[in-house]
């Protein structure tokens, strides 16, 4: 079911391996049949696949020798949505276990689905954070003494956010084009080998980072909306959920780079004219869709009301989604989530889009 093969020849090359030359019509799950045959290399030509493999050995597998990755080691193939692909004019060498079709990476539908999933992550994070008091000591300098902090007088939130980025940075989270660190200058060296991603965005994308504004809006505007005043002593738990929400907000807002690239490719002539004129207001008008924005605000408010319900043992809903009680008794107020998106998430996302588009043609 993976492909239709018409074998032209099959012979033993004298080195314990077999070589087959075929005319092949590829279908998407080619990697399955290649892995089943034990293929260790493959060269794709316009109409011919030359594959070499050796029979799978029976018996116990030899023990592997594990060691730390060294800078001299070659990069490994990506398993993300931006895989590594090496190609020349007439042939392409592809790792059949990792290569993926990139044709829909920048499709508006694919981007829209990613943004919808991030809505769920943000709302569930807000629900978790709302169970604790505001705990202002987490954010004051120094509200909680942190002996191991990188600078004197830093807050507990800054310390946990920095340390989280240290761990995630070592396993190459921030080498991905859709991730942006809050402290990019402090990122550590990699523990895992680096990945070379497919170039989807313009080079200017790496320098666009609004995390400072995101952190400010979270502490000054969102925190008072989702938490009750007071101090319950749950500093670690509160800060842990703060970090989760901040990372999700950052990814959601900076995904505007992909939205902008998709829109640029769909209407290149229009956006090129606005970019050459340095018309930021024209770009903002071009990317704005008030109807879609209203639907997003309505959707996140509805989600917050639904996710914040209590369901009884018999499956009965204790907090309704359409009544005034839903706003008052929900785990996080739906109106607060709607206001977050209306006043901050969507405006900052559009700022990312405009900043990206203004620099889209630099190179």
**Which strand (E) or helix (H) includes residue 9?**
strand 3-12
Q: What is the arrangement of strands in the sheet containing 3-12, beginning at the earlier edge strand?
A: 3-12, 18-26, 48-53, 39-44, 92-93, 86-87
Locate the domains of the chain by residue range. 118-359
Ranges of H-type helices in 131-234: 156-170, 211-217, 223-226
Phi, psi of 89, deg, nearest 5: -65, -40
Task: Pick the range with the lowest mean pLDDT from 46-50, 101-105, 150-154.
Answer: 46-50
The Cα–Cα gap between 284 and 353 comes to 8
pTM of the model: 0.70
* Pair of tokens at residue 41: 């290399």
pLDDT per residue as tens digits for the range 2-20:
444 444 444 444 544 444 4
Task: Report pLDDT digits (tens) over 292-348.
Answer: 999 999 999 999 999 988 877 776 666 554 555 556 668 999 999 999 999 999 999
Q: 172-225: per-residue pLDDT in tens?
A: 999 999 999 999 999 999 999 988 888 889 999 999 999 999 999 999 999 999
CA distance 228 to 225: 8
Is pLDDT of 147 > 90?
no
CATH class given for the domain over 118-359: mainly alpha
Residue with tokens 């006043």: 343
Start-to-end Cα distance in the chain? 44
**Residue from 223, 57, 98, 96 nearest 155 by CA:** 223
Candidates 238, 186, 191; CA nearest to 211 is: 186
Helices 268-276 and 346-358 meet at what angle, rounded to 10?
80
Burial grade of 349 (CB within 10 A; 0-12, 13-18, 19 or more): buried
């Amino acid at each position: 079911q993976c492909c239709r093969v018409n074998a032209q020849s099959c012979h033993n090359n004298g080195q314990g391996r077999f070589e087959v030359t075929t005319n092949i019509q590829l279908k998407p799950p080619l990697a399955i049949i290649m892995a089943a045959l034990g293929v260790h290399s493959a060269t794709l030509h316009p109409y011919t696949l030359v594959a070499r493999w050796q029979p799978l050995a029976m018996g116990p597998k030899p023990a592997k020798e594990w060691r730390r990755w060294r800078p001299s080691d070659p990069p490994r193939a990506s398993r993300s949505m931006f895989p590594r692909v090496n190609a020349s004019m007439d042939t392409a060498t592809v790792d059949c276990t990792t290569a993926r079709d990139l044709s829909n990476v920048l499709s508006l539908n694919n981007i829209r689905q990613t943004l919808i999933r991030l809505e769920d992550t943000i709302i569930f994070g807000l629900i978790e954070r709302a169970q604790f008091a505001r705990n202002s000591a987490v954010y004051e300098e120094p509200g909680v003494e942190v002996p191991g902090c990188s600078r004197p007088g830093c807050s507990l939130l800054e310390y946990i956010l920095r340390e989280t980025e240290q761990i995630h940075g070592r396993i190459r989270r921030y080498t991905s084009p859709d991730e942006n660190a809050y402290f990019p200058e402090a990122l550590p060296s990699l523990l895992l080998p680096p990945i070379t991603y497919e170039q989807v965005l313009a080079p200017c994308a790496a320098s666009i980072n609004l995390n400072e504004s995101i952190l400010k809006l979270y502490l000054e505007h969102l925190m008072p909306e989702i938490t009750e005043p007071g101090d319950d002593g749950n500093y670690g738990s509160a800060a842990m959920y703060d970090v989760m929400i901040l990372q999700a907000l950052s990814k959601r807002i900076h995904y505007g780079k992909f939205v902008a690239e998709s829109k640029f490719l769909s209407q290149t002539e229009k956006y090129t004219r606005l970019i050459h004129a340095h018309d930021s207001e024209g770009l903002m008008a071009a990317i704005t869709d008030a109807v879609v924005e209203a639907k997003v605000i309505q959707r996140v408010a509805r989600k917050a009301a639904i996710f914040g319900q209590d369901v009884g043992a018999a499956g009965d809903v204790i907090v309704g989604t359409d009544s005034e009680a839903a706003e008052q008794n929900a785990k996080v107020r739906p109106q607060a989530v709607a206001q977050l998106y209306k006043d901050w998430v969507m405006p900052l996302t559009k700022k990312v889009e405009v900043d990206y588009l203004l620099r889209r043609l630099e190179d």
